[in-house]
Chains A and B, each alone.
Chain A
Amino acid sequence: MRTFIGIDLGSTTTKAVLLDENQDVIGRGITNSRSNYGTAARVASEEARIDGRFTLFRRALSTGGADTERVQAFLGALERNFRLVQFLGQLDDLEETCLGQLQTERFAKVAGKMGEALNEVFKRLRAEAPALYAPGATRKSDFFRDIAGSRFHVHAEAVAGEANVSHEILLNAYDKSIIEVENRPPAGGMSEKFRRAMARVLEIDPHLIDGSNNVPGTIEAALDLELEETYLVGTGYGRVTLPFSKEHIRSEILCHGLGAHMMYPKTRTVLDIGGQDTKGIQIDPNGIVENFQMNDRCAAGCGRYLGYIADEMNMGLHELGPLAMKSNRPARINSTCTVFAGAELRDRLSLGEKREDILAGLHRAIILRAISIISRSGGVTDEFTFTGGVAKNEAAVRELRKLIVENYGNVTINIDPDSIYTGALGAAEFARRSVAS
């Protein structure tokens, strides 16, 4: 089948959306942008194709009065096992790369002991992997680097003590290897991984498969369906570092405008807060951009600001919003300068102010800056759509709602759970239109 792919190369994450000829989203993929947009683009589109296969499975399995709940449970199990197979594959690659490091001069003296220690670390990582992907298990991140990194640190520390090897040197081997591993797409064919995942499901949860429906056969048939990449459009900051040819590039302003229009056709104003950009975009009833404003020389108050604050507070990025939501008296913080905000944060903490109040104040500061950008782009016209990574942050959303009501009255505010894919969605639609026209 013909598919159209849109890739949004953001400063923090790279997103891909796979669209079919009917403008339906088949798959979405996301990965960290690393310092290598080439790999990020490959990985994100591969992830979108993986997600696309699940859509095809769902479509194939849901025909003729199928038991939806059961199909969901099966697909859930298949996905967990697929991710496990994928994780184990990358773990093999990481181990091999780490062991390869031992040949270098730096590790020569301790190569023997380190080899054993590394084998042990990876043995433990493999042993606990199924639990990471067990039903109901939560992971702080879905990116291999984050999961493998945090667990490697834990096991390396324990093993270093037991094997009388320095913890630092183990971490050093890891640090040198992870960049290499991350910068090459996972090895092995996708279909093969699906088959292995399928075999695991058959082995562990055979009850999920009703023999009469020939699930394995249906899956095989869906795997055989070719997802032809008919046209690709790239957008986002990374397009500069990784130039696609001109006809394959669209500006992220246009992509966000069109993407928001596809999600909510009545959208007239779009706010996107990404890693290093805040954009206020006005669009017409067809999703065509009429006007836009974005932050200029300074990225204060963008998504990275929250990342920095999270680091300062020794918290996960996703924990900031929920904590700020607990505040009833947000602190008044004026600076959206990331560096000043860090200083202000430490000052206020030392004065005994509550963490949640400070955090709520910081969220408000971000949104105030966004509101200024929106007003310069022409204000807010009903309906208003908020996109980008920061749209996932409930505290930011709360402040935004308040300020929109204060400044523009009651306006419909749309926030899609998949809003992080808005730019990629617009890009995929541009790809589809390129062929259609």
Chain B
Amino acid sequence: MTVFTRPKTKTPDIIKDASMSKQKEMMNRHYERLSDAPERGEKVAATFVPGNLNELLMCFDFANNLPEVNAIQSGLRKQSGGYVMEAEKSGHSEDVCTYVKSDIGMMAKGNIGPNGRKLPDPDVLLLSYTGCFTFMKWFELLRQQYKCETIMFHTPYMADGKMTKDMIQYMVKQLKQDVIPKLEKVSGVKFDIDRLREYMRKSAQAEDDLVWVLQSAKTKPSPIDAYFGGIYYIGPIFGAFRGTDDAIDYYRFLRQEVEERIAQGKGPVTPDGDMGKERYRLVVEGPPNYTHFRQFWKMFYDEGAVVVASSYTKVGGTYDFGFRHDPENPLESLAEYCLNVYTNRNLPMRVDMLENYMDEYQADGLLINSIKSCNSFSAGQLLIMREVEKRTGKPAAFIETDLVDPRYFSGANIKNRLESYFQMIEQKRAGVRSAA
């Protein structure tokens, strides 16, 4: 008779690769700069990740504070739960985006950043991507709190599935007539287009290496995890580092690291060390969960599942179709960058993108992580799933978590669904094999 026993397990230390440590050091410096800003007389801008205009802000010597990144940091550090509840106490509903609530709650509790020091009040709020209505409401709240200059840079939604010259001109006009003059006024620094060109040249250089790294997942086995690992990889480019030498160095370093992994035939680095045998290659649609990031990731790598492409790594901007920041046409290029944000693409464009990923990255299936409090991503996800499933004939699955609200992460349930999904892929493969 079978003996039922519980296997013994031990939690090992978290393994990090050198690029992760390098990034950590960059982030620490970034937060120190923010905390020091008032003392050093530096002006601070707050802006969002999607379509952020870091190069432009740098032209005015702003230190760039990104509330979403702060919310992610709070999630990873297990502080967002308290912040979310703090925001609810002040009247924000349970359904509101939890990034917003984490940010609002953090401000209510003294606005202490991940470095343990107070984050500065912004001098300007720059809303450069309007595809998410929550962003507008969020900045309304911040404006009320800080009573500072607020700039809304309107990005037209690509409802017809294309980017037109009119759209770009409309955006360039806004930059010239509204955004740049206001930034000049707040910063007291005159706009210098050559300075912008120089930053954009640097951006493009780092972008080339990032794209190379993300596309390295086409290799079998994939040397990277393009979702869980990918979140680290996009950190500098979508944050306050794009256009800097730091970003160029980081991505060159990262690329070398990945090249080495490919040469050694290695899979991705996970918090438990090198991943074992690659058994499932997945495309993931939707943001991750940050409150149980490691536990969530473990559910994948324990089963040999690696994410080879993800839409979330395109949340700041999409480089897949060749876009790079262009120093020759700086303002037009900024406009294009904003238009290219993943969630600014209409549903058919997103479906096409995911279908291509399935094909180009030789994925076994599509997984959707639907975020309870994110309408930008969640709307239409079931439709996307069905369509990609139909076109590729590959199995898809749907799980639900949240960004930074720990109450919406039901571990056993998610694990159950993921395991079912992986076995479903296995079963389908066996079916195809036996049919052959």
Write the residues of chain A forming the contact surface with B, with a CB cutoff of 8 angstroms: 37-38, 41-42, 45, 229, 232, 237, 240, 242-245, 248-254, 284, 286, 288-294, 296-297, 376, 378
Contacts and interface: CB of A to CB of B under 8 A. Distances in A.
Given A291-B396, A291-B397, 13 more contacts: A232-B2, A240-B415, A240-B416, A242-B6, A254-B420, A288-B424, A289-B420, A292-B424, A293-B398, A294-B417, A296-B410, A296-B413, A376-B398
Top 5 closest A-B pairs, CB basis? A251-B420, A253-B420, A297-B410, A296-B400, A38-B4
B397 A254 contact: no
A289 B413 CA distance: 18
Nearest to B1: A229
B416 A252 contact: yes
Contacts of B2: 229, 232, 244, 248
Interface string B394-414: 011110100000001010110
A42 B423 CA distance: 25
Contact of B431 (A38, A245, A288): A288
Contacts of B412: 237, 240
Contacts of B6: 242-243
A381 to B, nearest CB: 14
Contacts of B4: 37-38, 41-42, 242, 244
B84 to A, nearest CB: 15
A289 B427 CA distance: 8
Contacts of A249: 419
B423 A297 contact: no
A237 B431 contact: no
B389 interface: yes
A143 B7 CA distance: 29
Contacts of B413: 294, 296-297
B379 interface: no
A289 B386 contact: no
B22 interface: no
Contacts of A253: 417, 420, 423-424
B382 interface: yes
B15 to A, nearest CB: 23
A242 to B, nearest CB: 6
Given A252-B416, A254-B420, A288-B427, A243 B7 contact: yes
25 contacts: A37-B4, A229-B2, A232-B2, A242-B4, A244-B2, A244-B4, A251-B420, A251-B423, A251-B424, A253-B420, A253-B424, A254-B423, A254-B424, A286-B431, A288-B428, A289-B424, A290-B395, A291-B389, A292-B420, A292-B424, A293-B398, A294-B416, A296-B400, A296-B413, A376-B382
A297 B408 contact: yes
- Interface range, B side: 20 to 34
Contacts of A252: 416, 420
A86 B405 CA distance: 51
A229 B1 CA distance: 7
A292 B427 CA distance: 14
Q: Which of A42, A292, A297, A376 has the most B CB atoms < 10 Å from its CB?
A: A297
B400 A251 contact: no
Interface of B: 1-2, 4, 6-7, 382, 386, 389, 395-398, 400, 408, 410, 412-413, 415-417, 419-420, 423-424, 427-428, 431
A245 B417 CA distance: 19
Contacts of A240: 412, 415-416
Nearest to A281: B420
A426 to B, nearest CB: 11
A251 B303 CA distance: 13
Contact of B416 (A229, A251, A284): A251
Nearest to B9: A243
A191 B398 CA distance: 49
Contacts of A289: 420, 424, 427
Nearest to A299: B413
Contacts of A293: 398
A243 B7 CA distance: 7
A248 B2 CA distance: 11
Nearest to B435: A286
A245 B398 CA distance: 26
A378 B427 CA distance: 19
A360 to B, nearest CB: 30
B249 to A, nearest CB: 42
A229 B2 CA distance: 8
B168 to A, nearest CB: 39
A38 B389 CA distance: 39
A154 B396 CA distance: 55
Contacts of B427: 254, 288-289
Contacts of B416: 237, 240, 251-252, 294
A436 to B, nearest CB: 12
Nearest to A37: B4
Contacts of B389: 291
A252 B4 CA distance: 19
Q: Which of B395, B412, B413 has the most A CB atoms < 10 Å from its CB?
A: B413
Contacts of B395: 290-291
Nearest to A437: B430
A297 B406 CA distance: 12
Contacts of B1: 42, 45, 229
A229 B410 CA distance: 35
A14 to B, nearest CB: 11
Nearest to B385: A291
Contacts of A294: 413, 416-417
Nearest to B382: A376
A297 B405 CA distance: 13
Contacts of A41: 4
B202 to A, nearest CB: 44
Given A254-B420, A291-B389, A291-B395, A297 B400 contact: yes
Contacts of A37: 4
A19 B400 CA distance: 36
Nearest to A433: B430
Nearest to B410: A297
B3 to A, nearest CB: 9
A253 B422 CA distance: 11
B432 to A, nearest CB: 10
B404 to A, nearest CB: 15
A295 to B, nearest CB: 8
A268 to B, nearest CB: 15
Nearest to A253: B420
Nearest to B396: A291
A301 to B, nearest CB: 15
B148 to A, nearest CB: 38
B386 A378 contact: yes
A296 B423 CA distance: 19
Contacts of B417: 253, 294
Q: Which of A41, A284, A291, A376 has the most B CB atoms < 10 Å from its CB?
A: A291
Q: Which of B415, B416, B420, B428 has the most A CB atoms < 10 Å from its CB?
A: B420
A313 to B, nearest CB: 29
A242 B386 CA distance: 35
Q: Which of A237, A245, A251, A294 has the most B CB atoms < 10 Å from its CB?
A: A251
A269 to B, nearest CB: 15
Nearest to B422: A251
B280 to A, nearest CB: 14
